[in-house]
Structures are given as C-alpha cells and as structure tokens.
Amino acid sequence: MSIFIDPDAVSSLHRYKMPRKLGFGRVLAPVMFRAVCQDGCWSIGELVPYTAISLDPAAKVLHYAQSCFEGMKAYRTPDDGVALFRPEKNAARMAYSAKRLCMSPVPEPLFLDGVRTIASYCANLVPGNSGESLYLRPFLMGTQADLTVSTSASYAFYVIASPSEAYHSGNMRLWVERDDTRAVVGGTGDAKVGGNYAASLLSTGRLRERGYDQSLWLNPANRSSVDELSGMNFFAVIGDALYTPALNGSILQGITRDSLIELARDQGHQVVEGEIHINELLKQVDSGVCPEAFACGTAAIISPISVIGDAGSSYRLSKAPGPVAQSLRQALLDIQEGRTEDRYGWMQPLEAIRSS
C-alpha cells in the first residue's frame, strides 16, 4: 500500500527539540499517522504534523463509545536501529476489539504501515537508555455524525507516538476489588476499549485514598477468582509453579503475558493457566507458599507486587521483586533491546529514517 508523507511532517521532525525530561506517555512526537474509512473502504495512510482532531459534536464515538486502542513500543537496538516487538499481535488484537464493537477493523497491512511509518520517521526520537522506548498508541473511532444508535459508517485510525522513559511503578500495593466490576464475560472484558478503563477509575480513586496503587479485579461471574489489574495481567508464584488466570472472556489477551509464558517455560518453569481463587491465594501469601506475584504489560513490562490488601487486612509478599519476576523481566528486555538472540522471531527491525 502507498503512504503519503506530508513534507510539513518531515519539517516538523527537523525542527523538533526533544525535552530532557520525558516521563511516560507525556511527551508527544510532532507527527501522527492517519487513515479514514468510509463504508468499509480505507483511504491511503498519511504521515502528517501532529495537530488537534476536528470532530462533529454528533460523532458516534463521543456518545456511544465506538473506539478501541493499542499500546506498543519501538525499541532502540545496539546497532542504533529501531525495532518493533510482535506488531502483528497488536494488529490482530485491535481487529478483535474493533469487531467486538461492530467497527470496521483496520486491515493488518494498514495497521503495520502506520506503526512502522511513524517509528521509522521518529527514529531520532527513540531514546536509547535501557527501559526507554518510543511508546506507540494506535487508535480507531467511529466518526459518523448522527445520534442514532447504530454502527458508524465512517472511521478514523490514528497512530501517535510518545518518547518515554522506563515506566517505573516500583513495588505495587494491590487492593482486592470486591464490589465493582470493570468488565463482564460476554461484554468487552477481552477487548482493548476505553470504556473498560473508564469503569475502573472509581475503584482506583477509592483505593488510592487508602494508600494502595491498583485494583485487583475479580472474575465478574463468580466474584471469587482473580482476573487481572486495570491495564496489566496477573502472575503469582505458588509452590513450584507460575500461575496466571486463563483467558476466560473477561481478561485482556496481553502480549506481554503471552511472551512471558513462553519465556518462563523455556527457563524451565511450570506455567499453569487456570483459576486462582482469591481467598486461597491470600492464605498462600500469608503462609509463604506464594512468595512472589507480579503484573505485566507493555508499558511497565513487569511490576512486582509487594502487598495485597483486602477488607481489613493486608498480605505482604515475602519477595518483591522476586527472582522469577527479575529473571523474566531481564530475559524479555534483553530480546526487546537486542542484547540476546531473538530465538522466537519476535523483533522486527525497521528502516530508521533520520530527520537530521
């Protein structure tokens, strides 16, 4: 597919001065990729200067939440190149999320053109210290302008980029959310949609007042087994095995989760995908049978969990960060940053287009 590169986008990259302090997801690259779809037909993709989007106030996304997104990273490689990690997985997941919301999915070639084009042209903006990256945010929304409750005939797909430092969550304190649910089986729990995040914010606000960092969401159907965090999947070392909840319809299919399962098995760990009953887990933490637990996702890779709070009690993990979390984190980062051979074929090197 052909791509239009707006000369103004190239000159905005030439002029761009990267701030010294980046943070995570706060600084935005001066260009964006976009394509639009009308009645199932996609336009060509364009790399244009970063600018505000003009939307009709009746656009369906604003009222009926037809929108989904992805989160991925471009990494600096040792030869000063740029590489993406398993981008087809993000393309497939975004197509899945789009179909769940009855939206026109972005064709895989267009999705890959989008992330590759912005990462290649922003090669100078990919920071080079370990843990840093160019965070990419593809998103899709229904733009048809009328108030009828029906699927949109027009869509807009964008990719924006954020040069980012390592996302340091430190050791996290989780709170078992016994009252609210963020997503339901049969709903959008396994789709990456903004509505799931909106539904999680009230719980997060409440637990922050109590000195915790993140909600640990339970399965909405049984209210007794662990699902995941608001934006990260959950793992626990229990006895001799590594446990993670099975993909049950209310859990997002994390690409980090999937990669860690494969790495852990190759490191000789037994990995069990199954139900983790929360009351059982808390007892195992208390008795030391579960010495470590961690959350994972693209942004933070692995975040160790130090405490799980529930009702009046708090349960302290004896190892945070624990040895399993540390060795998996290092193994994944070594592949992503090109320090070890990529035996899995996960990395995709790109042509780095230098703007100066």
Ligand X SMILES: *Cc1c(COP(=O)(O)O)cnc(C)c1O
The residue (of 192 and 329) whose beta carbon lies closer to ligand X is 192
The residue (of 31 and 324) whose beta carbon lies closer to ligand X is 324
The residue (of 71 and 338) whose beta carbon lies closer to ligand X is 71
From candidates 177, 228, 292, 337, binder to ligand X by CB under 6 A:
228
Angle of helix 108-121 versus helix 87-100 axis, rounded to 10: 130
User: What is the residue whose two structure tokens read 């662990």?
Assistant: 226
Within 149-188, which residues bind ligand X (CB under 6 A)? none
Stretch that binds ligand X, among 48-56, 101-109, 173-181, 254-262 (CB under 6 A): 254-262
From candidates 255, 282, 305, 320, binder to ligand X by CB under 6 A:
255
Tell the smallest beta-carbon distance from residue 233 to ligand X (Å): 5
The residue (of 59 and 236) whose beta carbon lies closer to ligand X is 236
Tell the smallest beta-carbon distance from residue 22 to ligand X (Å): 19
From candidates 254, 291, 304, 322, binder to ligand X by CB under 6 A:
254
Cis ω for the linkage preceding 291 (within 30 of 0): no
Strands, E assignment, 92-238: 133-142, 154-164, 172-177, 214-218, 226-228, 233-238
Stretch that binds ligand X, among 44-52, 248-256, 316-324, 340-348 (CB under 6 A): 248-256
List C-alpha distances in Å: 85 to 138, 247, 345, 348.
14, 22, 9, 6
Residues recorded for the chain: 356
The residue (of 37 and 83) whose beta carbon lies closer to ligand X is 83
Stretch that binds ligand X, among 54-62, 160-168, 229-237, 308-316 (CB under 6 A): 229-237
- Relative to beta strand 270-273, strand 41-42 is unpaired
In whole angstroms, what is the distance from residue 175 CA to residue 207 CA?
7
The residue (of 259 and 355) whose beta carbon lies closer to ligand X is 259
3-state SS assignment for residue 275: coil
The 10 Å Cβ neighbour count of residue 18 is 12
Residue 275 identity: E
Binding of ligand X by 71 (CB under 6 A): yes
Stretch that binds ligand X, among 33-41, 225-233, 237-245, 316-324 (CB under 6 A): 225-233
Stretch that binds ligand X, among 24-32, 242-250, 253-261, 310-318 (CB under 6 A): 253-261
In whole angstroms, what is the distance from residue 281 CA to residue 205 CA?
25
The 10 Å Cβ neighbour count of residue 22 is 18
List C-alpha distances in Å: 37 to 34, 46, 94, 100.
10, 13, 15, 18
In whole angstroms, what is the distance from residue 201 CA to residue 285 CA?
27
Tell the smallest beta-carbon distance from residue 71 to ligand X (Å): 5
Where on the chain is the footprint of ligand X (CB under 6 A)? 71, 192, 228, 231-233, 252, 254-257, 297-298
